[in-house]
Amino acid sequence: MRVDGTFIGIEVDDDAIAAEPHLASHLATVCPVDIYHEADGGGLRIAKENVDECVLCRLCLDLSQVDAPNGSVRVLKLYDGGVAL
């Protein structure tokens, strides 16, 4: 799944969420600007209205390296050619 704002893009590997169902709740817990939410019935929802509020804190990236395979969550700087954080 990918959700783009104006300046930031968020990519989350759907297979990682399916394989590690607790990842969605962990992402929702650590994000200081409420980008990630647990979806009804499980899974993950990315709040498009909050994507550009990302403060580039890397908490979601650090958490995803513990809970799921490397690269399962990516934060993209669209203002810098889409380079990953």
pLDDT digit string (tens) for 28-72? 999 999 999 998 888 899 999 999 999 999 999 998 888 776 779
- Nearest Cα neighbor of 54 from 7, 12, 2 is 7
Instruction: State the CATH number of the domain containing residue 8.
Output: 3.30.70.20
- Label residue 27 by pLDDT band (50, 70, 90): very high
Residue 84 has pLDDT above 80, yes or no: yes
Residue 48: give the domain boundaries. 2-84
Q: What is the predicted pLDDT for the residue at 31?
A: 97
Report how far apart, in Å, the C-alpha atoms of 4 and of each of 10, 16, 22 are. 6, 19, 24
- The total of structural domains in the chain comes to 1
